[in-house]
Amino acid sequence: MTVERLVNISKVYKNKKKALDNVSLDVNKNEILTLIGPNGAGKTTLLKIMALIDTPTDGEIYFREQLVTQKNIEKLRLNVTMVFQKPIFFNTSVYKNIAYGLKLRGLPKREIERMVKEALETVGLDGFEKRHIRSLSGGEQQRVALARAIILSPELLLLDEPLANIDPVNAMILEKVVSDLRKELTIVMSTHDLAHATRLADKIAFINQGKVIQRGDAMDILDKPIDVLTARFIGYENIFEGTTRATEEGYTTISLGSVSIEAISSKQGKCHVAIRPEDITLFKERTVTSARNVLLGTIVEARELKPFVYLKVDVEGIPFNVKITRRSFSELSLRVGDKVFLSFKASAVKVF
């Protein structure tokens, strides 16, 4: 069942800046759709339009298959709630901040008290009712903002960078809460953190410069980039231009100039290939493995970003980025200038 559908949505601001360009998206019931993309890609603008608090310049919005119009937008807006990256609170207690929306709806005091208690339990802040909002950490405030949103029982919950700039403990709690909420709600969440998207999303939409570049099941997006921009954003640091030539069934040889590698692909002619740094294994000596790609190169750069070491290895003039653990780096006694063998499977090479 589709909860919300966007059809050819564009948004142009008064300064002529086009924030969204012909965006079409379906949001299905009880799924988490994650919008990923760089800062300024249009994610927040898209969420505001989905929340029915901003209007598109062009296009149509359907909520439960009903076209959103000026006549029904106020009523339909009651079914959608958005949590902003930097929520705004009243300068008062946690209880009063969460209860505010219910008071506007005229619920009895005892009912409000019960619902506030349940909402705080859901986000792991039991007993915080009397705490002043300003006494809470940023992560705790974000959990209060989520409690304030879910207490209104929306059908569609929109979260704008909910895990940005908060400590790991609160981020872990929020991740679990959001994951559990998919049983009751439909959620659209924006993030530029690929790790959060990987752990939470059922579907992912990659957005850049106001356009949806790629959309699909989360693992498909992460495993099958369709262009250089998407590949680079989701962690494929080794991106090269090449030319393919079919070999045996299902495999192709790709010439990168002075170097040839093998991949599982049926694509012919000019192409791009992408390989994650962590999918490359290093050996000091040539070793027999099941990997179809084994290349000899020279380490030209090493930099430590705990707990990993990032290496740049020159293979006949082509730079490969490799990511290994500090332990492996130490055990192999690697240094800049060392000759090493790079090994990676044909399935690790993405061709587009």
Token pair, residue 241, equals: 């231009």
Count Cβ atoms below 10 Å from residue 39 Cβ, excluding itself: 8
Q: Under a CB-based contact definition with an 8 Å cutoff, are residues 190 and 32 in contact?
A: no
pLDDT band at 249 (very low <50, low <70, confident <90, very high): confident
pLDDT at 195: 80
Helix (H), strand (E) at residue 70: none
Identify the band that residue 219 occupies on the pLDDT scale cut at 50, 70 and 90.
confident
Summarize pLDDT for 70-107 with one digit per residue, the tens.
999 999 999 999 999 999 999 999 999 999 999 999 99
| Furthest-apart CA atoms within the chain: distance in Å | 75
User: Measured between alpha carbons, how far is residue 261 from residues 48, 79, 180, 238, 318 in Å?
Assistant: 45, 52, 43, 13, 12
**Strand ranges of the sheet holding 156-160, from the earlier edge strand across to the other edge:** 80-83, 156-160, 186-191, 32-36, 203-208, 211-217
CB atoms within 10 A of CB 165: 11
- Separation of alpha carbons 258 and 297, rounded Å: 12
Sheet bearing 251-255, strands edge to edge: 260-264, 251-255, 238-246, 269-275, 350-351
In contact, 122 and 98? CB cutoff 8 Å? no
* Tokens encoding 200: 């939470």
Portion of the chain with pLDDT greater than 70, in percent: 100
User: How much is the mean pLDDT over the chain?
Assistant: 94
pLDDT surpassing 90 at residue 245: no
Q: Are strands 186-191 and 32-36 parallel, antiparallel or unpaired?
A: parallel
Give the model's confidence band at 114: pLDDT under 50 very low, under 70 low, under 90 confident, else very high: very high
| Rounded average pLDDT over 335-341 | 97
In the predicted structure, residue 298 carries a pLDDT above the cut 90 = yes
Cis peptide preceding 87, ω within 30 of 0? no
- Residue 266 pLDDT exceeds 90: no
Q: Which contiguous run of DSSP H or E holds residue 97?
A: helix 94-104
Buried b (16+ CB within 10 A) or exposed e, 320-346: bbbbbeeeebeeeebeeebebbbbbbb
* Beta bridge partners of residue 67, listed in sequence order: 62
Confidence label for 246 from pLDDT (cuts 50, 70 and 90): confident
- Residue-level pLDDT at 321: 98
Supply the pTM of this predicted model.
0.85
Residues pairing with 187 in the sheet: 32, 157
Which of 49, 66, 52 has its CA nearest to residue 13?
49
C-alpha span between 264 and 252 (Å, rounded): 6
pLDDT digits (tens, 9 = 90+) for 172-214: 999 999 999 988 999 999 988 788 888 899 999 999 999 999 9
Please answer whether residues 147 and 118 qualify as being in contact, where contact means their C-beta atoms are separated by less than 8 angstroms.
no
State both tokens at 215. 């959309």
Q: Which residues of 109-118 are buried (b: 16+ CB within 10 A; e: fewer)?
A: eeebeebbee
How far is Cα 226 from Cα 120, in angstroms, rounded to an integer? 42
DSSP 8-state assignment for residue 105: T
Angle between helices 168-181 and 138-150 (to 10 degrees): 10
* Domains of the chain as residue ranges with CATH: 2-232 (3.40.50.300), 236-351 (2.40.50.100)
